[in-house]
Amino acid sequence: MSTQIWTRLDYDRPGKQVGHLHLPHSVHRSAYGNIVIPLGIVAGGKGPTLLLTAGTHGDEYEGQIALTKLLRNIDPKSVNGRLIVIPMLNAPAARAGMRTSPIDGANLNRAFPGDPLGGPTAAIAHYVSSVLFPMADAYQDIHAGGSSLDYLPFVSVRQSGDADLDARAMAAARAFGAPLIQVWGYSPDPRLSTAESNRQKIVSLGGEFGGGGAVSRRGLAIVERGLERLMAHLGIMAPLDESPPPPALEVEVQGRDHYVYAEADGLFEPLADLGESVLAGQPCGNVHDPDDPLRPAALHLFRRDGMLVCRRHPGQVRRGDCLAHLAAPRRG
Ligand SMILES: [Zn+2]
Protein backbone atom coordinates (compact mmCIF):
# COMPACT_ATOMS: atom_id res chain seq x y z
CA MET A 1 0.00 0.00 0.00
CA SER A 2 1.43 3.35 -0.98
CA THR A 3 0.86 6.61 0.81
CA GLN A 4 -2.43 8.52 0.60
CA ILE A 5 -0.66 11.81 1.39
CA TRP A 6 -0.54 14.19 -1.58
CA THR A 7 0.76 17.64 -2.45
CA ARG A 8 0.37 20.10 -5.30
CA LEU A 9 4.08 20.98 -4.97
CA ASP A 10 6.63 19.45 -7.35
CA TYR A 11 9.75 18.11 -5.63
CA ASP A 12 11.71 18.42 -8.89
CA ARG A 13 10.85 22.03 -9.77
CA PRO A 14 13.57 24.67 -9.34
CA GLY A 15 12.84 27.73 -7.21
CA LYS A 16 11.02 28.17 -3.90
CA GLN A 17 7.63 26.59 -3.37
CA VAL A 18 5.67 26.71 -0.14
CA GLY A 19 2.43 24.78 0.20
CA HIS A 20 1.08 21.75 1.99
CA LEU A 21 0.99 18.03 2.30
CA HIS A 22 -2.59 16.79 2.43
CA LEU A 23 -3.40 13.80 4.59
CA PRO A 24 -6.96 12.63 3.91
CA HIS A 25 -8.87 12.54 7.19
CA SER A 26 -12.59 11.82 7.01
CA VAL A 27 -14.42 12.91 10.15
CA HIS A 28 -17.92 13.98 11.20
CA ARG A 29 -17.42 17.69 10.48
CA SER A 30 -15.50 17.15 7.22
CA ALA A 31 -16.26 13.99 5.29
CA TYR A 32 -13.68 14.56 2.54
CA GLY A 33 -11.32 16.69 4.64
CA ASN A 34 -7.56 16.71 4.96
CA ILE A 35 -5.01 17.34 7.67
CA VAL A 36 -2.68 19.92 6.08
CA ILE A 37 1.02 19.97 6.88
CA PRO A 38 3.10 22.97 5.71
CA LEU A 39 5.87 22.01 3.27
CA GLY A 40 8.59 24.03 1.60
CA ILE A 41 10.83 22.98 -1.29
CA VAL A 42 13.76 25.13 -2.35
CA ALA A 43 15.73 23.77 -5.29
CA GLY A 44 18.38 24.80 -7.78
CA GLY A 45 21.56 23.30 -9.27
CA LYS A 46 22.81 19.77 -8.91
CA GLY A 47 23.81 19.60 -5.22
CA PRO A 48 22.46 17.17 -2.62
CA THR A 49 19.05 17.06 -0.97
CA LEU A 50 18.72 18.01 2.71
CA LEU A 51 15.48 17.15 4.50
CA LEU A 52 14.75 19.31 7.57
CA THR A 53 11.91 18.54 9.97
CA ALA A 54 10.70 20.15 13.21
CA GLY A 55 7.47 19.80 15.14
CA THR A 56 7.85 16.04 15.19
CA HIS A 57 6.91 16.79 18.77
CA GLY A 58 4.46 19.69 18.73
CA ASP A 59 5.59 21.35 21.99
CA GLU A 60 9.22 21.85 20.89
CA TYR A 61 9.54 25.26 19.32
CA GLU A 62 13.10 26.33 18.44
CA GLY A 63 13.17 24.12 15.34
CA GLN A 64 9.67 25.17 14.27
CA ILE A 65 10.74 28.83 14.44
CA ALA A 66 14.12 28.23 12.76
CA LEU A 67 12.56 26.37 9.80
CA THR A 68 9.79 28.96 9.44
CA LYS A 69 12.38 31.73 9.27
CA LEU A 70 14.53 29.71 6.88
CA LEU A 71 11.65 29.22 4.45
CA ARG A 72 10.61 32.87 4.67
CA ASN A 73 14.10 34.28 4.18
CA ILE A 74 15.96 31.92 1.87
CA ASP A 75 16.79 33.09 -1.64
CA PRO A 76 16.41 30.10 -3.98
CA LYS A 77 19.20 31.46 -6.16
CA SER A 78 21.60 30.79 -3.27
CA VAL A 79 20.74 27.07 -3.21
CA ASN A 80 22.77 24.41 -5.00
CA GLY A 81 20.74 21.26 -4.51
CA ARG A 82 17.43 20.90 -2.72
CA LEU A 83 15.97 21.68 0.68
CA ILE A 84 12.79 19.93 1.75
CA VAL A 85 11.57 21.79 4.84
CA ILE A 86 8.69 20.77 7.12
CA PRO A 87 8.42 23.11 10.12
CA MET A 88 5.57 21.25 11.89
CA LEU A 89 5.75 17.64 10.79
CA ASN A 90 3.15 16.36 13.23
CA ALA A 91 0.91 19.32 12.41
CA PRO A 92 -2.04 18.30 14.64
CA ALA A 93 0.31 18.00 17.64
CA ALA A 94 2.05 21.29 16.78
CA ARG A 95 -1.24 23.18 16.43
CA ALA A 96 -2.26 21.85 19.83
CA GLY A 97 1.17 22.59 21.37
CA MET A 98 1.41 18.95 22.42
CA ARG A 99 4.10 16.29 22.21
CA THR A 100 1.61 13.75 20.88
CA SER A 101 -1.19 14.04 18.36
CA PRO A 102 -4.54 15.02 19.86
CA ILE A 103 -6.21 12.99 17.10
CA ASP A 104 -4.74 9.56 17.69
CA GLY A 105 -2.67 10.08 20.85
CA ALA A 106 0.47 8.89 19.04
CA ASN A 107 4.07 10.07 19.35
CA LEU A 108 5.48 10.62 15.84
CA ASN A 109 9.01 9.92 17.01
CA ARG A 110 7.91 6.47 18.16
CA ALA A 111 5.99 5.73 14.94
CA PHE A 112 8.66 5.01 12.30
CA PRO A 113 8.75 3.49 9.75
CA GLY A 114 4.99 4.10 9.94
CA ASP A 115 1.89 2.64 8.37
CA PRO A 116 -0.06 4.17 5.44
CA LEU A 117 -3.28 2.64 6.79
CA GLY A 118 -2.69 3.53 10.44
CA GLY A 119 -3.75 6.69 12.23
CA PRO A 120 -2.61 10.13 11.04
CA THR A 121 0.66 9.94 12.98
CA ALA A 122 1.59 6.56 11.52
CA ALA A 123 0.64 7.81 8.04
CA ILE A 124 2.94 10.85 8.40
CA ALA A 125 5.82 8.62 9.52
CA HIS A 126 5.20 6.34 6.54
CA TYR A 127 5.26 9.27 4.11
CA VAL A 128 8.60 10.45 5.50
CA SER A 129 10.02 6.90 5.35
CA SER A 130 8.72 5.95 1.92
CA VAL A 131 8.67 9.24 -0.03
CA LEU A 132 10.99 11.79 1.61
CA PHE A 133 13.87 9.65 2.89
CA PRO A 134 14.48 8.06 -0.55
CA MET A 135 15.00 11.61 -1.94
CA ALA A 136 17.32 12.74 0.88
CA ASP A 137 21.12 12.65 1.12
CA ALA A 138 21.08 14.25 4.56
CA TYR A 139 18.44 14.75 7.24
CA GLN A 140 18.00 16.69 10.44
CA ASP A 141 15.08 16.28 12.85
CA ILE A 142 15.13 19.21 15.29
CA HIS A 143 13.89 18.63 18.85
CA ALA A 144 13.83 20.15 22.34
CA GLY A 145 12.73 18.89 25.72
CA GLY A 146 9.07 19.73 25.24
CA SER A 147 6.74 20.45 28.13
CA SER A 148 8.27 17.92 30.53
CA LEU A 149 12.05 18.31 30.05
CA ASP A 150 14.70 21.03 29.84
CA TYR A 151 17.78 20.35 27.73
CA LEU A 152 21.18 21.95 27.50
CA PRO A 153 21.26 22.77 23.76
CA PHE A 154 23.16 20.28 21.60
CA VAL A 155 23.29 18.81 18.13
CA SER A 156 23.17 15.02 18.20
CA VAL A 157 24.09 11.92 16.26
CA ARG A 158 22.49 8.53 16.75
CA GLN A 159 25.01 5.73 16.31
CA SER A 160 23.89 3.48 13.46
CA GLY A 161 26.53 0.76 13.68
CA ASP A 162 27.70 1.63 10.15
CA ALA A 163 31.16 3.14 10.72
CA ASP A 164 31.27 5.06 7.44
CA LEU A 165 27.77 6.52 7.92
CA ASP A 166 28.54 7.41 11.56
CA ALA A 167 31.78 9.15 10.53
CA ARG A 168 29.92 11.25 7.94
CA ALA A 169 27.25 12.12 10.52
CA MET A 170 29.93 13.19 13.04
CA ALA A 171 31.56 15.37 10.37
CA ALA A 172 28.19 17.00 9.72
CA ALA A 173 27.59 17.47 13.47
CA ARG A 174 31.01 19.12 13.89
CA ALA A 175 30.30 21.38 10.90
CA PHE A 176 26.99 22.40 12.55
CA GLY A 177 29.16 24.21 15.11
CA ALA A 178 27.05 23.77 18.27
CA PRO A 179 29.07 24.05 21.49
CA LEU A 180 27.95 20.54 22.49
CA ILE A 181 27.61 17.33 20.44
CA GLN A 182 25.80 14.40 22.01
CA VAL A 183 26.16 10.91 20.60
CA TRP A 184 23.23 8.64 21.33
CA GLY A 185 25.06 5.34 21.71
CA TYR A 186 22.14 3.96 23.65
CA SER A 187 18.81 4.28 21.90
CA PRO A 188 17.25 0.86 21.63
CA ASP A 189 13.96 2.15 20.22
CA PRO A 190 13.84 1.40 16.47
CA ARG A 191 10.81 3.67 15.94
CA LEU A 192 12.71 6.99 15.97
CA SER A 193 12.85 9.04 12.78
CA THR A 194 16.66 8.93 12.87
CA ALA A 195 16.60 5.15 13.42
CA GLU A 196 14.73 4.81 10.13
CA SER A 197 16.93 7.36 8.31
CA ASN A 198 19.98 5.43 9.56
CA ARG A 199 18.50 2.22 8.15
CA GLN A 200 18.17 4.05 4.82
CA LYS A 201 21.86 5.12 5.06
CA ILE A 202 21.07 8.86 5.18
CA VAL A 203 23.51 11.15 7.00
CA SER A 204 21.33 12.09 9.96
CA LEU A 205 21.46 14.64 12.74
CA GLY A 206 19.14 15.32 15.64
CA GLY A 207 19.44 17.83 18.41
CA GLU A 208 17.76 19.20 21.51
CA PHE A 209 17.76 22.99 21.66
CA GLY A 210 15.84 23.91 24.81
CA GLY A 211 12.67 22.78 26.51
CA GLY A 212 10.00 23.42 29.08
CA GLY A 213 7.52 24.24 26.34
CA ALA A 214 9.29 27.60 25.92
CA VAL A 215 11.67 29.10 23.36
CA SER A 216 15.35 29.28 24.28
CA ARG A 217 17.04 32.31 22.68
CA ARG A 218 20.40 30.58 22.97
CA GLY A 219 19.06 27.31 21.57
CA LEU A 220 17.35 29.09 18.68
CA ALA A 221 20.55 30.99 17.82
CA ILE A 222 22.54 27.72 17.87
CA VAL A 223 20.11 25.93 15.58
CA GLU A 224 19.73 28.82 13.13
CA ARG A 225 23.48 29.29 12.73
CA GLY A 226 23.98 25.53 12.72
CA LEU A 227 21.59 25.01 9.82
CA GLU A 228 23.51 27.59 7.76
CA ARG A 229 26.78 25.82 8.52
CA LEU A 230 25.25 22.41 7.76
CA MET A 231 24.02 23.63 4.36
CA ALA A 232 27.51 25.00 3.63
CA HIS A 233 29.11 21.70 4.75
CA LEU A 234 26.90 19.79 2.32
CA GLY A 235 27.66 22.20 -0.53
CA ILE A 236 24.06 23.42 -0.73
CA MET A 237 25.05 26.96 0.28
CA ALA A 238 28.28 28.93 -0.09
CA PRO A 239 30.64 28.78 2.91
CA LEU A 240 29.88 31.32 5.62
CA ASP A 241 32.09 34.36 6.03
CA GLU A 242 33.18 33.55 9.58
CA SER A 243 36.08 32.13 11.52
CA PRO A 244 35.38 28.46 12.35
CA PRO A 245 33.45 27.93 15.60
CA PRO A 246 35.45 26.51 18.53
CA PRO A 247 35.49 22.69 18.68
CA ALA A 248 32.47 21.22 20.43
CA LEU A 249 32.52 19.33 23.70
CA GLU A 250 31.59 15.77 22.66
CA VAL A 251 29.57 13.61 25.05
CA GLU A 252 27.64 10.38 24.79
CA VAL A 253 24.81 8.48 26.42
CA GLN A 254 25.64 4.79 26.57
CA GLY A 255 23.22 3.18 28.98
CA ARG A 256 20.19 3.22 31.24
CA ASP A 257 22.34 4.19 34.24
CA HIS A 258 22.69 7.69 32.77
CA TYR A 259 19.02 8.26 33.67
CA VAL A 260 17.33 8.99 37.01
CA TYR A 261 13.65 8.05 37.37
CA ALA A 262 11.21 9.11 40.08
CA GLU A 263 10.56 6.42 42.67
CA ALA A 264 7.71 8.28 44.32
CA ASP A 265 4.88 10.65 43.45
CA GLY A 266 5.22 14.23 44.66
CA LEU A 267 7.08 17.48 44.04
CA PHE A 268 10.58 17.39 42.55
CA GLU A 269 13.22 19.57 44.23
CA PRO A 270 16.23 19.50 41.86
CA LEU A 271 19.66 19.49 43.51
CA ALA A 272 21.83 19.92 40.38
CA ASP A 273 21.73 22.28 37.42
CA LEU A 274 21.98 21.79 33.67
CA GLY A 275 25.61 21.79 32.56
CA GLU A 276 26.85 20.71 36.01
CA SER A 277 29.36 17.86 36.26
CA VAL A 278 28.17 15.37 38.88
CA LEU A 279 29.54 12.23 40.51
CA ALA A 280 27.92 8.85 41.11
CA GLY A 281 26.12 8.96 44.44
CA GLN A 282 25.63 12.73 44.33
CA PRO A 283 22.05 13.94 44.98
CA CYS A 284 19.95 14.53 41.86
CA GLY A 285 16.91 15.74 43.75
CA ASN A 286 14.29 15.14 46.41
CA VAL A 287 10.67 14.21 45.87
CA HIS A 288 8.48 15.66 48.61
CA ASP A 289 4.89 14.85 49.51
CA PRO A 290 3.22 18.05 50.74
CA ASP A 291 0.10 16.00 51.44
CA ASP A 292 2.02 14.15 54.17
CA PRO A 293 4.56 16.66 55.53
CA LEU A 294 6.15 14.34 58.11
CA ARG A 295 6.99 11.68 55.55
CA PRO A 296 10.74 11.88 54.71
CA ALA A 297 11.60 13.17 51.24
CA ALA A 298 12.57 10.53 48.67
CA LEU A 299 16.21 11.31 47.88
CA HIS A 300 17.28 10.39 44.35
CA LEU A 301 20.99 9.94 43.56
CA PHE A 302 22.89 9.95 40.27
CA ARG A 303 23.99 6.45 39.41
CA ARG A 304 27.19 7.42 37.61
CA ASP A 305 29.50 10.35 36.83
CA GLY A 306 28.59 12.71 34.02
CA MET A 307 27.32 16.08 32.92
CA LEU A 308 23.69 16.96 33.56
CA VAL A 309 22.24 17.63 30.08
CA CYS A 310 18.52 17.08 30.75
CA ARG A 311 16.25 17.71 33.72
CA ARG A 312 12.55 17.46 34.38
CA HIS A 313 10.80 20.84 33.97
CA PRO A 314 7.47 20.63 35.89
CA GLY A 315 7.51 20.39 39.67
CA GLN A 316 4.95 17.62 39.87
CA VAL A 317 6.26 14.10 39.30
CA ARG A 318 4.87 10.61 39.33
CA ARG A 319 6.76 7.40 39.96
CA GLY A 320 8.49 6.42 36.72
CA ASP A 321 8.94 9.95 35.35
CA CYS A 322 12.42 10.82 34.11
CA LEU A 323 13.94 13.35 36.52
CA ALA A 324 17.26 13.83 34.74
CA HIS A 325 19.80 12.31 32.42
CA LEU A 326 23.54 12.61 32.14
CA ALA A 327 26.01 12.37 29.30
CA ALA A 328 29.61 11.24 29.71
CA PRO A 329 32.74 12.41 27.89
CA ARG A 330 32.93 10.65 24.54
CA ARG A 331 35.23 7.65 24.49
CA GLY A 332 36.17 8.38 20.87
ZN1 LIG B 1 11.27 15.84 20.70
Domain boundaries, the chain: 6-253, 258-329
Q: How far away, in angstroms, is 125 Cα from ligand 1 center?
A: 14
Q: How far away, in angstroms, is 31 Cα from ligand 1 center?
A: 32
Give the Cα separation of 325 and 284 in Å (integer).
10
Residue-level pLDDT at 188: 76
Q: How far away, in angstroms, is 220 Cα from ligand 1 center?
A: 15
Same CATH topology for 6-253 and 258-329: the answer is no
Q: In what order do the strands lie in the sheet with 266-270?
A: 298-301, 283-288, 266-270, 316-317
CB environment 170-208: b (16+ within 10 A), e (fewer): bebbbbbbbebbbbbbeeeeeebbbbbbbeeebbbbbbb
Note the CATH architecture for domain 258-329. Answer: Beta Barrel (2.40)
Report the chain's terminal Cα–Cα distance, integer Å. Answer: 43
CB environment 299-315: b (16+ within 10 A), e (fewer): ebebbeebbbbbbbbee
Domain 6-253 is found in CATH 3.40.630.10: yes
Pick out the chain residues at pLDDT < 70.
Answer: 332
Residue-level pLDDT at 332: 65
Q: How far away, in angstroms, is 242 Cα from ligand 1 center?
A: 30
Q: How far away, in angstroms, is 141 Cα from ligand 1 center?
A: 9
Q: How far away, in angstroms, is 143 Cα from ligand 1 center?
A: 4
Query: Against a cut of 0.75, is the pTM above it?
Result: yes
Q: How far away, in angstroms, is 197 Cα from ligand 1 center?
A: 16
Q: How far away, in angstroms, is 82 Cα from ligand 1 center?
A: 25
